[in-house]
Structure 1
Amino acid sequence: MKCYDCDLDGRGATAGIGICSRCNLVVCADHGHVTPTVLHLSGGMGKATRERPGRRVVCHTCYAAERSA
């Protein structure tokens, strides 16, 4: 698959590295941001979060929207 934002910019068929976890569009290394995320384990009593964070890919647009005021 090719990057959605590169296709809009007319850059041709840039290969995608992942799919945005918010809007589900394919992104390349230039337009994607890999961010940490807290992993939760539901059920039972006690600690529900994992020690190490996971990771997720978000596109440039969703990344900017998440950090806006």
Structure 2
Amino acid sequence: MHCYDCAQEGRNENTGIGACTRCGLFTCADHSRIVHATVQRPIGVIPMTSVRPARRLVCGSCRTAEAA
């Protein structure tokens, strides 16, 4: 799979490293961002927050939209 953003720029040589967890498009290392996500697990009736954050891959467009 090739990076969607690179294809829009006319560069088809970059291979995608993963799919954006928000929009699902493939993205390369140049156009992707790794963000931390809080993980909560239900323990009884109270959700317990994990001490270690999970990683989530998003494309640059979705990261910009999330940060706005």
What TM-score, normalized by structure 1, do the two folds share?
0.89
- Looking at secondary structure, tell me which structure has more strand per residue: 2
Q: Distance in 2 between matches of 1:46 and 1:63?
A: 30
Equivalent residue number for residue 16 of structure 1: 16
Aligned to 2:58: 58
Distance 2:63 2:19 in 1: 13
- Structure 2: distance between partners of 1:51 and 1:43: 15
**Sequence identity (%):** 43
Give the letter aligned to residue 13 of structure 1. E
Partner Cα separation in structure 2 for residue 46 and residue 54 of structure 1: 20
Q: Give the drift of 1:11.
A: 0.7
Deviating runs (4+, > 2 A) in structure 1?
Answer: none
Total equivalences in the alignment:
68
Q: What 5-or-longer segments of structure 1 have no aligned partner?
A: none
TM-score with structure 2 setting the length: 0.91
Residue 38 (structure 1) aligns with: 38
